[in-house]
Structure 1
């Protein structure tokens, strides 16, 4: 049906004096003897538009919160430089009823409660703002790469190899549970693909293949990890941004990551001032200032070895002890970014034992050309590396991990036919949203969270 978005009505004075039609859901409704006030929101704006209903002698029935309405009326100037819609009862049509047990009638619902109604929580101010921030950040990511000559590629979600080599993959099968097969090999031979298959944990390996043809590519899609981690930072299904760049060494990867992150945060601050102000007021005081501060400085750089010494000499009583060779925990990452550097910082050259097989081995024989970006308030937000381009070194790294080389034959071929230095990184999209909104739980920045024991 023909109507105008609420966002258009409230952001421009050009509609004043015009008769228009809007559609949306009732957020609040107040009724007096001669006039009623109905706040309507259609999801295009964090702000509602107020409909002032002149009841006259009509049999006006007050709409309930949650109802869907079509409203035709005249736009007028309201208080505090706002606009309103003057309407009569005949100009209001109920498109969808909402009973008295509509779950969102009262304000102040906890985020935990709202997770139990994921199909409705988008109608609250909080999730109205979250979904819009998510949309703007996604568009900004595409904009950055598209304007820097990257090719957007779609890597497969079903794969026969484990990118991370950690075995935390969801199995894909058309057979399911069965006693009809003698062994695992017999089972998979008779399955759909004729071999073991799973949901992809990353598009990186296929992304490298595309980069060695197109030069600069990026993927932006879902990844799946069957990691039994029921924490505020983990999802079984999440969205992943992964650029891969041919002819790029570690320093190039670092520069791209910093430039990209600054671009998307700047875009968010410029395009979503109302949403950022909302999160600043209700979820993290000083959020906007923190984001402005982050992008106003060059990010710091430190090697893993230097970082370990800084942590050991800090005098802090960390829960997880620090020694060279340990994986940095969130408490270590936050200390480095918040207390030592007081800004975002890249940590490079990690021990090869705690990083993935595909990372370029450094001349010292102990470390790899890996990088993590640590940001205040969160810790790690980006992880990347220069990839190992030497065939023999890559084979050796895979053999050390007892990996099945047959599953990676195409990936290994890249090191035979025109191999080049190349690198890239991965950005967990939901973690970026958490960082830019102050939302503390990753379940609250994705439409339908998939976690351990939960698939609603």
Structure 2
């Protein structure tokens, strides 16, 4: 149909097409008019750049022009001509304009001015029409595509692990329950507890917090796999770093040890960020400028020394520093912020759980490079991590980035049945519910490893956004499931 024979603005800007007749469709960003001419800035989401449409009232019906306002959706046909104004090399001289959808200028929330992030979260159904959020979600797409391309090119298999599960991989207990029982009148057992035997799955189930455990099962058959799916945590946290629904990338690799795991994670992160730098130049330039303006609003001692694009290049162009948790504790304990009690959480000694401020100090102040920390105390890590020979630490690793702290967490997995069951007993994890996981250690066990990357954390780092709620289309947080 002729209606669909349109060209996207990105393609039109790239190809020029001076003198050709084209059809554009999109949403009006601004319109300015006088008696003789109207200038319409149109955007269709394909690029951060608007395209100028010039409408002559002698050719375009005045009633049509009156209906065109910020937020309206239009179809414009015309000829591409050289632009007489600044800011663009070409523009569309309109021969006809059709208003596909009006937008009441008195009621449309997104006026051509700066809006607060909180206001835009309240209008999440429209916020992707702003430059900032359109840029974020184009970058998010590029990063997701790069994830799949990286693993596919390395011979990994994409596994879809369950969203509904009976296990809590982290052992944290902060899960969303899944049930079909009547919550007003649930069936009860003789001792007064809810009788889940009468539920759909005939047992307690919840939304997954991680696809890792099921991913391990797949890796112990296919060698190299990855998952990329939604995960859920019912953590009552209203910080800038937490979501109740988020996406996780979790590769699992048979025949990998802890060092192999670190090598893959570093290579993967550099690849994905390089892909964004190569394919999202306009959007990242815009977000870099936005981030610089945000930094100026901060106190001098809280400002980042690097701009957004500089931070991305810092990751791509440097070898990650690798050190043990024990070495990191020594550095932090003897650091000026710790000695002068400027850390909110002071480092007293070995065994402390590192906070974001400690992680950022190591990356941004001490090494000025991304850092891989390894060999954490077993008491602060999960049951499935391989125990080191010292009996105190596990073969875990966290990757720390500037501005954000931990971005990846992983480990060599405990493949020895006796060590795994011993650790599960210590942590009170019921072995009978994890029989399927334990059987992989009975039948053809092998060293294997993996890691997890919170996708929103990655998008946050690449886009420079300060709040994780602004890098997912419709954030799920305590008290917020509006859209």
Identify whether the pair has TM-score above 0.5, normalized to the shorter chain: yes
Q: Deviations over 1:99-139 (max 9, x none)?
A: 12100123101111000011000000000100000000000
**CA shift for structure 1 position 294:** 1.7
Aligned-pair distance for 1:57? 6.8
Distance change (3 Å), C-alpha of 1:264 and 1:58? closer
The aligned runs of 1:3-402 (5 Å cut-off) are: 3-13=6-16, 15-56=17-58, 59-60=61-62, 61-62=65-66, 63-78=68-83, 79=86, 82-88=89-95, 91-100=96-105, 101-177=107-183, 178-182=185-189, 183=191, 187-284=195-292, 286-316=307-337, 317=341, 318-322=343-347, 323-402=349-428
CA contact (8 A) 2:254 2:449 kept: yes
Q: Which of residues 451, 465, 482 is equivalent to 1:439?
A: 465
CA shift, 1:185, in A, is 5.9
Q: Distance in 2 between matches of 1:143 and 1:338?
A: 30
1:319, distance to aligned residue in structure 2 (A): 1.2
Aligned residue for 1:108, secondary structure, equals: coil
In 2, the alpha carbon distance for the partners of 1:86 and 1:213 equals: 61
TM-score, with structure 1 as normaliser: 0.97
Flag structure 1 segments of 5+ consecutive residues without an equivalent.
none
CA–CA distance in structure 1, aligned partners of residues 422 and 52 of structure 2? 67
- Structure 2 contact 29–112 (Cα < 8 Å) conserved: no
* Partner Cα distance (1:385, 1:410) in 2: 20
What's 1:423 paired with? 449
> How far apart are 1:196 and its partner, in Å?
0.6
CA contact (8 A) 1:222 1:238 kept: yes
8 Å contact kept, 2:187–2:194: no
Distance 1:187 1:193 in 2: 12
User: Where in structure 2 are there 5+ consecutive unaligned residues?
Assistant: 294-306
Given the superposition, is the C-alpha separation of residues 81 and 47 from structure 1 closer, same or farther in structure 2, using an over 3 Å criterion? closer
Q: How many Å separate the matches in 2 of 1:189 and 1:173?
A: 11
Query: 1:370, 1:231 → 2: CA distance?
Result: 26
Compute the displacement of 1:288 (Å): 0.9
Shift of residue 82, structure 1, vs aligned partner: 2.5
Shift of the alpha carbon at 1:287?
1.0
Q: CA deviation at 1:180?
A: 3.5
The whole-number CA distance in structure 2 between the counterparts of 1:402 and 1:425 is: 23
Deviation of the 1:83 alpha carbon: 2.1
Q: Is the 2:54–2:91 Cα contact (8 Å) retained in structure 1? A: yes
Partners of 1:300 and 1:153 lie apart in 2 by 31
Instruction: Give the Cα separation in 1 of the matches to 2:74 and 2:58.
Output: 20
Q: Give the structure-2-normalised TM-score.
A: 0.92
Cα deviation code 1:197-229 (max 9, x no counterpart): 000000000000000111100001100001111
The aligned length equals: 453
Between the aligned partners of 1:59 and 1:69, the Cα distance in structure 2 is 14
CA distance in 2, matches of 1:57, 1:209: 67
